[in-house]
Amino acid sequence: MRASQHSQLRFITCGSVDDGKSTLIGRLLNDTGAVFDDQLRAATDTQGAVDFAALLDGLDAEREQGITIDVAYRYFHTPVRSFIVADCPGHVQYTRNMATGASNAEAAIVLVDARKGLLTQTRRHTWICGLFGVRDVILAVNKMDLVGHDEAVFDAIRTEYAEMARAAGITSVQAIPVSALLGENLVETATSMPWYSGPTLLTALESLEPSRIDGIADAFHLPVQYVNRWGQDFRGYCGTLVSGRVRPGDTVTIQPSNLRAAITAVYSGGTAISEGTLGQALTLTLDKEIDISRGDVLSAAANPLEVSDQFSTHLLWMSTQPMLPGRSYRLLCGTREVMATVTDIKHLIDVDTQAQLAAKQLEINQVGACNISLASPIPFAPFDQSKALGGFILIDRQTNETVAAGRIEFALRRATNVHWQAIEVDKRARAISLGQTPKCVWFTGLSGAGKSTIANAVEKQLLALGKHAYILDGDNVRHGLNRDLGFTDVDRVENIRRVAEVAKLMTDAGLIVLVSFISPFRSERQMARELFAPGEFLEVYVSTPLEVAESRDVKGLYARARAGEIPNFTGIDSPYEAPESPELCVDTVDTGVEDVARKVVSALRL
């Protein structure tokens, strides 16, 4: 029987740097006949010694430094099973690459250098494996030849690791003493360690039955990836079946709309089939015309998913820029993308001790328990029940960088307990009663740029025109609503989030709101903009050079910042991100305040 007809196992190798991951996999590939002759010759030196790690290191930088940088995938098979292995980097700066490998793995080989024992990266990688649903680990205690094949060394590492793995959610650990360099206990049983009676690494891989996350395995769920309009009379909903099976005639619920329909046909590769099964890419047709788009989920009518917009989650932060609660990110869960905000960091987790520590932000490679709020509800399953419908990534809106990977633990009760109260007098009625069109004018610029002065002049001109306006000034708001906030990046984000929500309420009341805040980050100004209807938000950039703003210094703030008395001062030791496409850019150096104010009022087109 061919290996391809047997089961397949996807696993990763991970652990700290220089513990021999690439050498182990290279040796395993070689000993199972998965290396071509020319590859072996290229990895052999003039003395005939084979560098097994070189069989995996595909990048020049990896060969030069003797390290793994990117995840290297390799495929091999035995008469018993086929394998896809991801050789993951051990350096801490490439943890995100390791997390990528873990998110797609069914099992892991965690390597430990017998001379060093468990290191921080060993603990971090094990924690990440547990975080992304890997429940089965083979602990390869490597370089046993360098500790004299000492059973006591092996036993001590095995015992310590088992305790740590349980805390990380690993349910199965099989420890094997090996020497990757010498090939001991990889494919053949080593005679150098007669005290070990367990399987070789290859035998363990061939017999490993990975624990399944199958809480919803029997219920049909298909996230819609694409709507196929083939001809005028055909509308098919395409996606990969992530759980259960589906047949023509089955009744399904479309989520989150909760409308129902019946399956009329199931296609695989353009061919109608009688049943779709787990993992198949399918196209389904329905008996009703229903508005369905990418990101919706077709679920068995008897077993619909939960729907919510607030979650308790765990996050692995992967960006060099810290995660700031209150900042808006793009969340991708299944095929659905929605805006998301981390509302609260409950604690971060020390991967060495599993201690829960207080934190206001997450730095790169930190794991935190966080609450997340979404702009709209999504159908989901807790990660422990479905990787596909409970795992997600966060994407930075400015750079498109994937900044975090996470798992949904459960929906927050507040998501179902808090409802919108219907109010009969609406925004339009209020605006008509005031005889104006509500607007939000968002002044941004350095301290001393002239924002508040201009806002004052604009309000007076609006008052003269009979318009109703109000100024939300950065300093004034910090005396009340935001008096609990400091000037760290985290507090600045929250400062803007609160004032943006207040400005939205004021425009809802029919007012023209003049917001005068430094608001140094583009992300938060974009977040504020998106709270308003198209055309309702005007960003006014008060473009004043730092040296001019500093020369004004009417409050003495720049002088104190230069003296080190005010940390995190925008323009001095905290950045200001100028707008890229403001509705209006004004100059207070060569233009008088009243003229600038008239420009702003004109831009309002009242």
* Binding-site annotation: residue ranges: 445-452
* Alpha-carbon gap, residue 88 to 310, rounded angstroms: 33
DSSP codes joined into one string, 26-66:
HHHHHHTT-S-HHHHHHTB-TTS-B-GGGGT--SHHHHHHT
Q: According to the 3-state scheme, what is the secondary structure of 344-405?
A: EEEEEECCCCCCEECCCCECCCCEEEEEEEEEEEEEECCCCCCHHHHEEEEECCCCCCEEEE
DSSP 605: -
Q: CA dist 190 to 149, 152, 194, 207, 214, Å?
A: 10, 17, 7, 19, 38
Q: Rounded to 5 degrees, what are φ and ψ at 247?
A: -135, 155
151-167 helix and 120-131 helix, angle to the nearest 10 degrees: 40
* Alpha-carbon gap, residue 592 to 2, rounded angstroms: 83
| Residues contacting 263, CB < 8 A, separation 6+ | 246, 247, 248, 249, 250, 251, 252, 284, 285, 286, 287
CA neighbours closer than 13 Å in the CB half-sphere of residue 419: 5
**Strand 512-516 versus strand 439-444 pairing type:** parallel
| Residues contacting 443, CB < 8 A, separation 6+ | 451, 452, 454, 455, 514, 515, 516, 517, 540, 542
Strand partners, 399: none
Q: CA dist 604 to 27, 93, 462, Å?
A: 71, 49, 10
- The structure tokens listed for 415 are 């998501």
Q: Rounded to 5 degrees, what are φ and ψ at 321?
A: -85, 135
- The annotated binding site for ATP is made up of 445-452
Element (H, E) at 496: helix 489-508
Catalytic site residue from 519, 523, 543, 574? 519
The answer to whether residue 328 is catalytic is no
Residue 576's closest CA among 506, 520, 528, 538?
520
Catalytic residue list: 519
